[in-house]
Chains A and B, each alone.
Chain A
Amino acid sequence: EADIYQTPRYLVIGTGKKITLECSQTMGHDKMYWYQQDPGMELHLIHYSYGVNSTEKGDLSSESTVSRIRTEHFPLTLESARPSHTSQYLCASSGLGEKLFFGSGTQLSVL
């Protein structure tokens, strides 16, 4: 059973606010990822990290930023939320294999 946790599960926030989505895993995985997904659409990779102090942008351009100061923690920050940021954000991690373990996701709504 995967141990990867995301908080909050749901977030409704006003335009212009700064938000941080939390993601933690207890499996000791080096690789961690953030995906964005809208209903009926594919998962888009927005950030990934292959280890501490290593972060890269994914295929989908995003105004968010990430940090990886500890192996187990990979938070995502939006400095100024906009309605176009409304989406589901999924955090995942993987070990040596290709299998990704996903958290439960954060459903973000920006009003």
Chain B
Amino acid sequence: DQQVKQNSPSLSVQEGRISILNCDYTNSMFDYFLWYKKYPAEGPTFLISISSIKDKNEDGRFTVFLNKSAKHLSLHIVPSQPGDSAVYFCAARGYSGSARQLTFGSGTQLTVLP
């Protein structure tokens, strides 16, 4: 049972426009959320995060929004650039026993067209 879902496997956006990547989760005990970016044949790199006590966090062109009642978060990239083309994973922190662990979604391939 997937606790973190990214329902859009792919997204194409024109350069300069806004990219919106979505993520839904089912576990209300998740208390911290992160977005990672991954290029082919490389490991994921951290992009931005948000605590469950906030509803928005912004870092340059990247903004993450959290809607706890809907168990939904989204990543906005404005303006989108061709170098943003990558797979984006959302991740949520939960507990397995006493251990804190991250649960990842299946990723969304973003393609920014020049």
Contacts and interface: CB of A to CB of B under 8 A. Distances in A.
B46 interface: yes
B63 interface: no
What is the interface of chain B mostly: helix, strand, loop, or mixed? strand
A43 B89 contact: yes
Interface string A17-57: 00000000000000000010000111111001010000010
B2 A56 contact: no
B43 A98 contact: no
B102 to A, nearest CB: 7
B107 A40 contact: yes
Contact of B105 (A42, A59, A102): A42
Range class of the A interface residue count: 20 to 34
Interface residues of B, number: 26
Interface in B79-114: 89, 91, 93, 96, 99-107
Contacts of B9: 40
B101 A48 contact: yes
A42 B42 contact: no
B73 interface: no
B107 A105 contact: no
A69 interface: no
A20 B9 CA distance: 32
Contacts of A58: 101
11 contacts: A35-B104, A40-B9, A42-B2, A44-B104, A45-B101, A58-B101, A59-B96, A98-B32, A100-B102, A102-B44, A104-B41
Interface of A: 6, 9, 35, 40-45, 48, 50, 56, 58-59, 90-92, 98-105, 107
